[in-house]
Structure 1
Amino acid sequence: MTLKSMLLVMDMINDLVHPDGAGAKTYVPLMRERGVYEATKRAIARARAADIPVGYVRVGFSPDYREVSDRSPVFTGARKAGIFQLGSWGTEVYADFAPQPGDVDIVKHRVSPFYATALLPVLSAKGIGRLILSGVSTNGVVSAAVREGHDRDFECVVLEDCCAGSTKEEHDYALAGLRRFAKIMTADEF
């Protein structure tokens, strides 16, 4: 039986991956060095050409950050920096990866794309059995998607050249831990 797939492009938002975004110093250098922008565009184009649905997962919060726990070192930092505000330019998907009509758009308030989101019902309604994963960061949303996806009985594939960490070591370390739960490949192999 052939599994139906969906490509998930996760947290590729302006605040994190746009050269003028708040996270430009964190992810942009490694993304440029590793060719993540070009690889991600190729992966999206290949998915569309093969009639594989594309879904976007975006982190975002209300302007008052009511969804942010004071116990989260990640998201309290976002609140202090004034980033990830829903409805702002920062939480829009980076234009080079722009969604098209009919693409899935999932907003999350935590690292995981599954936690308290509509992702699971959407995947179920579409009969998806395989998740093809891309995004930033490799050790954040990508890792969470693989581990939770695995435990929810999805076959998971990570497009390693469509992901980045804040450092090469962080990216490589995350991938090393994910090989047990997911197939690791490139956009061209996909």
Structure 2
Amino acid sequence: MKRTLFLVMDMMNDLVAEDGFNAKTYGIQVKERCVLENTAAAIAAARTAGAQVGYVRVGFSPDYREAPEASPIFSGARKNGIFQFGTWGNEVHEALAPQDGDFDIKKHRVSPFYATSLEAILRANRIERIVMCGVSTNGVVHSGAREAHDRDYEVVVLENCCAGVTADEHMHAIACMGRYGAIVKSADFDWAS
């Protein structure tokens, strides 16, 4: 098997929980697409095959010192008091709970690479392939796929483990990412390859 890291990105309660802040936006697509169930099954398959698992979480200090005020995305986090490290909203959803030995990659921007520990983790573990999923498809997943590609990693996106605010937003992002890696359903991916 290729040395593989499965990145589960921004699957935090504030974004994906049925009673989370975004339950009426992202939560609708997460539920309709069975994203949590699909991702939980993919995590189990990855672990069985011996792939490493990493969780990427966007977040900020309680005073939002890392959040750019001019950002149309992150100014909303500040205004609504979400994405704070150390809170329930910033924890990975319990259906996808991390285990000892998994990576916890904290970020302050859309990209899972920008100013995070991800690059060092990939190099230290001699990772060849990054399998990824997350919310949102057109945010962290799209950004991650492009950047992983440009760093010469094999990229695999588990399409049914991703969601956007709308089905159209998700489909457009998936269509774009096909240029940078393989787009597959989680049940069809051979982790042992």
Q: Distance in 1 between matches of 2:139 and 2:153?
A: 18
Q: Deviations over 1:64-122 (max 9, x none)?
A: 00001122110001100000011000100000000000000000000000000000000
Secondary structure class of the residue paired with 1:147: helix
> 4+ residue runs of structure 1 moved beyond 2 angstroms?
none
Q: Distance in 2 between matches of 1:56 and 1:104?
A: 6
Task: Report the Cα offset of residue 6 of structure 1.
Answer: 0.8
Q: Distance in 2 between matches of 1:136 and 1:27?
A: 8
Gaps in structure 1 of 5+ consecutive residues: none
Q: Distance in 2 between matches of 1:62 and 1:37?
A: 27
Q: Distance in 2 between matches of 1:93 and 1:102?
A: 15
Aligned residues: 189
Alpha-carbon RMSD: 0.7
Q: Which residue of 2 aligns with 1:21?
A: 20
Q: Deviations over 1:46-72 (max 9, x none)?
A: 001001010000001000000011221
Q: Distance in 1 between matches of 2:177 and 2:4?
A: 19
For 1:80, the aligned partner's letter is K
TM-score, with structure 1 as normaliser: 0.98
Q: Which residue of 2 aligns with 1:121?
A: 120
Q: Distance in 2 between matches of 1:34 and 1:77?
A: 25
Q: Distance in 2 between matches of 1:140 and 1:69?
A: 17
Task: Report the Cα offset of residue 38 of structure 1.
Answer: 1.2
Task: Report the Cα offset of residue 27 of structure 1.
Answer: 1.3
Q: Which residue of 1 aligns with 2:180?
A: 181
Matches within 5 A, 1:33-48: 33-48=32-47
Secondary structure class of the residue paired with 1:8: strand
Residue range with higher mean Cα deviation, 134-143 or 21-30: 21-30
Q: Distance in 2 between matches of 1:113 and 1:180?
A: 19
Q: Distance in 1 between matches of 2:28 and 2:86?
A: 26
Q: Distance in 1 between matches of 2:20 and 2:9?
A: 16
Task: Report the Cα offset of residue 3 of structure 1.
Answer: 2.8
Q: Percent identity?
A: 58
Matches within 5 A, 1:1-190: 3-190=2-189
Task: Report the Cα offset of residue 37 of structure 1.
Answer: 1.5
Secondary structure class of the residue paired with 1:131: strand
Q: Distance in 2 between matches of 1:31 and 1:71?
A: 28
For 1:35, the aligned partner's letter is C
For 1:23, the aligned partner's letter is N
Task: Report the Cα offset of residue 33 of structure 1.
Answer: 1.2
Q: Distance in 2 between matches of 1:7 and 1:56?
A: 8
Secondary structure class of the residue paired with 1:188: helix
